[in-house]
Amino acid sequence: MTKFTLHPDLARDTVFVAELDVCRVLLMNNAAFPWLILVPQVEGAYELFDLDDEEYDMVMQEVRAVAEELSALTGADKMNIAALGNVTPQLHIHVIARFAGDAAWPKPVWGNGGEPYDKDELAEMLRRMQSMFPA
């Protein structure tokens, strides 16, 4: 994991939550949705198939574990999991807890609402998210 640098778009829009074996876990600063982003710390990766076999397996295991835990933590009606990257050219996987009646439901979240957390909300949400990743 040498010299991995987080893309400035992701640095701007998220807050650090935890570091797993391969992925960095970030909280999207959007108070409308419990929304994590997993960034495989593999320099130069853009597509999922840019990962080698072992990296891919590990990333997919981390995605599954985080999705299942975030679902349980939030009681989501549905998890949305996506690698899009049309705007930000660094591989990152969205893991979003969706609720019937949330700001975008049933549409996808991208471009469909939400505002940044205020500082107290952010602190509380970070505490909840970090509880999924005991040190």
Integer angstrom CA distances of residue 89 from 41, 46, 59, 67, 122: 14, 6, 18, 23, 26
Using CB under 8 A as the binding rule, whether residue 31 contacts a copy of itself is answered as: no
Residue 91 token pair: 């591989």
Beta-bridge partner residues of 63? none
Site string for a copy of itself, 47-76 (x = CB under 8 A): xxx------xx--x--xx--xx--x-----
- Smallest gap, in angstroms, from Cβ of residue 108 to a copy of itself? 5
Using CB under 8 A as the binding rule, whether residue 44 contacts a copy of itself is answered as: no
- Smallest gap, in angstroms, from Cβ of residue 114 to a copy of itself? 15
